[in-house]
Structure 1
Amino acid sequence: MSILLPAISEDTGTSVDTLQWAVTGYSLMGAAVIVTSGSLGDVFGRKKVFQLGLLLFVASCVFIALSTTGLAVIVGRIIQGAAGATILACGLSILTVANEGREQLRAVSLWGAAAAIGAAAGPLVGGVLVDFTGWQGLFWIDAVVAVVCMVISYFAIQESRDEGRSRSIDYLGTVLVALTLSPIVLATAQGPQWGWVSIPTLVCVVVSVASGFAFVFTEKRVAVPLLDLALLRNVVLVASTAAILIGAGTINGLMYLLSLYFQNPDALGMTPFQAGLAMLPATVGLVVVAPLVPRFAAKIGGRKVVALGFLITAIGFAVVGFVQPSWLYLSFVLPLIAIAVGMGLSNGPASAAATASVSQEQVGAASGVSNMARYVGAAVATALAATIYSSVITARTDAGVDMSGALASGLAAASWVMAGLSLAGVLMAFLLRKHRMPRGTLADAAAAAAAHTHTLPTTASGAGEGAELPRR
């Protein structure tokens, strides 16, 4: 989506700063509904809810493609976030229920591979369509693909549900998650304009904190909570979830920043197609390294792989932090690859640690926490990166610096923050030292990491044949 923002901005007359909510809003809605949509599938039928998610996705694509204002695009993307989260949650449940043993692993590996290919091809395809059909073309094609998926899934998938599960759904918890996250992200994005101690900013903070307390109060009392608060006493789960959040946040922040920087005429001045092509080293790096991760984790331990991955990512971001207006595209290639390889190394074992740290009965809940963390990380980091980028650009231009220099300064500042977050990921890996899981468990579970990678896709094709995924 980030690759389309300059074109949408030009067509609708909406600033790119405002349109970042098309990226952030998608992730916020996904974070709010990812667990609930999975629960709805368990209760009312996974196939039925999966197809409803596809139908909602089609509707959102058509709505966005027909939009003539930036606000309409943002609203459509928020709706699309709910659809995407539903497709992810129920699609994975369908795969795990329909297969067992090696076939289950193979099915989820194919799921991860498809996600990785989509991530690699997405910026390039989006760039091509913007150049030849306008930005609307991508959403029309997405709508057609989703309709085809609806037809195939209708005939190919058998209905399934969890007959023993309580039919209680924590709708209030879903609302409170949205009310906790949205105001704080809004305050982050608008703080420079409103003032960090202004009334609107403080109101957002108060609403967010109050909603957070209300969420905790509610989760302690509902029959089937959205989040089992007892899981938060699990140090491994908390640390691995924080690592997942950081990883998803930094890679999404990077994609957002570079999509804008590469296309800006005062920076590299690329066309959307060229910018999409320029992002391929990052996505290809993720695809290439992912099959190697399970065996690497088995050899040296998952926590070491997580720490190494975040360290490499931090170095990559630090290199970008020295960006100068004179840099050509080739100067970005190596740090892009480093960031991608680091993310590929840390993502799988962190996901594995999250699911391996709980009992079989809690795997579904732990996976839900991990998925929510990815969406939260993507939303918060994108908003933070956008705020830093635009604020530094404004400050530098006000100080008399030319636009090319201001743009480089904005990218550098945001990259240093992403580097700092990556170093925090290294610290999260060290928290796993006192709670080390068996290496075999981590390696096998790393193969299932593709099941939890909507905002940071990888593939698990390098897993051992004997591995079996935890069942929900």
Structure 2
Amino acid sequence: MSSTSAADAKTWLPNDKWLLGVVLAVITFWLFAQTLLNVIPGISGQLGVEKTLANLSVSITSLFSGIFVVVAGGLADRLGRAKILYAGLWLSILGSLVIALTPEGLGSLTSGMLLGGRAIQGLSAACIMPASMALVKSFYEGKARQRALSFWSIGSWGGSGFCSLFGGLMATSFLGWRSIFWISIAVALLSLWLLKGTPESKAGSQEQRGFDWTGLAFFIIMLVSVNVYISQGPRIGWLSWVGLGLLAVFVASGLIFLWTEKHRRHPFVNLDLFSNRTFTGATLSNLLLNGAAGTLIVSLGLVQSAAGMTSLQSGLLTLGYLVAVLATIRVGEKLLQRFGPKKPMLWGTLITGSGILLCSMTFVYIEQYIVLSVIGFTLFGIGLGFYATPSIDAALSNVPDNQAGAAAGLYKMASSLGNAIGVAISAALYVAGQKADIELIQSWGIFIGRQDNVALRFGGAIGLLFNVLIVLIAFAAVAFTVPSQKQQKQIPEPAQEVAPPALGN
């Protein structure tokens, strides 16, 4: 495969077969890897692993994806986006194979293979997401790019919407839960075949540069410390010495990271990308809307605990979300073409917030809440469908081609970290709210029906209203940063020297 510059790669005309390969690459993570969130309670006992380790196996994938997605984006700019995409697919095959072959009841071998496979899947996602987005930017222009990004979003948002139902169905079928990962291997192989012959696309500068190991090290310390603090806060104590120590490590490592990146000639993360308000607004709002995934864990957990619904029954409440997001992603593309990115992004965040607000009405009878949550999750899907393509287009259209991989990496890092942090905070608030004074809550006369589960319902309302709040912040971020014009000015490239990729000395 010959290497070409990003400009030369644009002369190659991709077809729908190639685009299908990209979509299949994306869903190897969002559809298959994410199914473990729903099936791990059922298979942890079968494998003989402790609950804490099982929960870690769920979160470690997003953690590895969030940490290394920027690294992979920078490598895609420097080494080649097609190479990194292929590498991601092979990592997906390897990770799925390790999980599918994980033995039962063999102690450390079982634990090691489960965690190792999940970590590899996280690295796979870190490679696939920015490389595939950067290739779409390189190979498509104008409306064709917007159409391609819509299909990319279908693979991402649609896959995430379907993973819980798909995982539950496969795990309870005669094929068993391991079939999820064998199918994932088959899909990755098909994607590799469809993507065969993709011309290489790199950043304009091919100058050899060292790797910014210092920036990466403090970046990892910063993210790991804050993730441990949020996820383990209820156990270790939010204001305990351990908790405060983790916060101190997070702040110190974050400041050192920022100082390091500002003073590096070729930093690990090119902070200059955030000098463009449109890219900043699209990335920040993306982080916040992904953080609203906490709605799922609180609302579905609430109906299971307070109303005795099964996981399958509660999962069916989100069916409207899946249908809506798949049906409206192309609508968001058309709105982008007519109005530019700002209006559909604003409409999308408002509709999403309205849907979550309906899910927050935990004070009604269960029959009424089921109706409200079905409508709410459907609105959630419609809002994300409106938002998805305009947001990605706003982010990628406003960066130069030689930084497309790094920019896509930052954008997708926001997705992974927003999801992880939002879920953790929502769950923590859900638990904390249950410790409120029940007699005081009952004295308000708001919660009707059964009174023995008022604590659960109040905690659920607190956790869900937090998600309404972060969606409102996302609305403000879009309103103040994304311009109304259909065309935005890209970050200018230096006149004398091509801007360096995100990885460097």
Amino acid at match of 1:246: L
1:180 to 2:180 alignment: no
Match in the other structure for 2:262: 220
1:267 aligns with one of 307, 317, 328: 307
How far apart in 2 are the matches of 1:95 and 1:288? 22
Cα 1:385–1:161 change in 2 (3 A) is: same
1:282 aligns with one of 311, 317, 321: 321
Match in the other structure for 2:475: 426
Match in the other structure for 1:89: 130
How far apart in 1 are the matches of 2:138 and 2:398? 22
Cα 1:192–1:156 change in 2 (3 A) is: same
Cα 1:151–1:217 change in 2 (3 A) is: same
Find the structure with the greater CA-based Rg. 2
Q: Single out whichever of 120-129 and 298-307 deviates more from structure 2.
A: 298-307
**Gapped regions of structure 1 (runs ≥ 5):** 443-471
Match in the other structure for 1:447: none
SS at match of 2:279: helix
Shift of 1:28: 2.3
Shift of 1:21: 3.9
Shift of 1:184: 0.9
Give a deviation string over 1:218-273, Cα, whole Å, max 9, x none: 212334323222333433333332111101111x22233345445x365342244x
Q: Single out whichever of 9-18 and 127-136 deviates more from structure 2.
A: 9-18
- How is 1:54-69 mapped onto 2 (pairs within 5 angstroms)? 54-65=89-100, 66=102, 68=104
> Residues 82 and 200 of structure 2 are in contact (CA less than 8 Å); yes or no, is this contact kept in structure 1?
yes
Cα 1:437–1:240 change in 2 (3 A) is: same
1:122 aligns with one of 163, 186, 191: 163
How far apart in 1 are the matches of 2:157 and 2:266? 33
TM (norm. structure 2) is 0.75
> Residues 166 and 224 of structure 1 are in contact (CA less than 8 Å); yes or no, is this contact kept in structure 2?
no
1:416 to 2:456 alignment: no
Amino acid at match of 1:414: G
> Residues 286 and 340 of structure 1 are in contact (CA less than 8 Å); yes or no, is this contact kept in structure 2?
yes
How far apart in 2 are the matches of 1:315 and 1:416? 11
1:207 aligns with one of 249, 254, 262: 249
Amino acid at match of 2:266: V
Shift of 1:172: 3.6
SS at match of 1:225: coil
Q: Single out whichever of 19-28 and 339-348 deviates more from structure 2.
A: 19-28
Cα 1:116–1:375 change in 2 (3 A) is: closer
Match in the other structure for 2:206: 165
Shift of 1:122: 2.4
Shift of 1:48: 3.5
> Residues 247 and 347 of structure 1 are in contact (CA less than 8 Å); yes or no, is this contact kept in structure 2?
no
Cα 1:7–1:266 change in 2 (3 A) is: farther
1:305 to 2:344 alignment: yes
2:419 aligns with one of 373, 378, 393: 378
Match in the other structure for 1:452: none
Cα 1:396–1:16 change in 2 (3 A) is: farther
Give a deviation string over 1:266-304, Cα, whole Å, max 9, x none: 5342244x4444322112222222222244345555434
How far apart in 2 are the matches of 1:428 and 1:439? 18
> Residues 96 and 117 of structure 2 are in contact (CA less than 8 Å); yes or no, is this contact kept in structure 1?
yes
1:354 to 2:410 alignment: no
Cα 1:110–1:321 change in 2 (3 A) is: closer
How far apart in 2 are the matches of 1:8 and 1:49? 32
Match in the other structure for 2:66: 31
How far apart in 1 are the matches of 2:232 and 2:387? 32
Give a deviation string over 1:134-192, Cα, whole Å, max 9, x none: 43332232233224434554x44345544733333434433332211121121112222
Amino acid at match of 2:285: A
> Residues 342 and 484 of structure 2 are in contact (CA less than 8 Å); yes or no, is this contact kept in structure 1?
no
Match in the other structure for 1:438: 485
Cα 1:21–1:48 change in 2 (3 A) is: same
> Residues 353 and 380 of structure 2 are in contact (CA less than 8 Å); yes or no, is this contact kept in structure 1?
yes
Amino acid at match of 1:436: P
Shift of 1:336: 0.8
Give a deviation string over 1:14-36, Cα, whole Å, max 9, x none: 67676554444322221221122
TM (norm. structure 1) is 0.79
How far apart in 2 are the matches of 1:403 and 1:141? 44
1:135 to 2:177 alignment: yes
Cα 1:224–1:84 change in 2 (3 A) is: same
Tell me how many residue pairs correspond in the alignment.
Answer: 437
How far apart in 2 are the matches of 1:194 and 1:117? 36
Match in the other structure for 1:456: none
- How is 1:145-164 mapped onto 2 (pairs within 5 angstroms)? 145-150=187-192, 152-153=194-195, 155-162=196-203, 164=205
Amino acid at match of 2:412: N
SS at match of 1:244: helix
Give a deviation string over 1:278-337, Cα, whole Å, max 9, x none: 322112222222222244345555434333322222222222222258424333111111
Percent identity among equivalent residues? 25
Cα 1:29–1:324 change in 2 (3 A) is: same
1:314 to 2:353 alignment: yes
- How is 1:384-399 mapped onto 2 (pairs within 5 angstroms)? 384-393=425-434
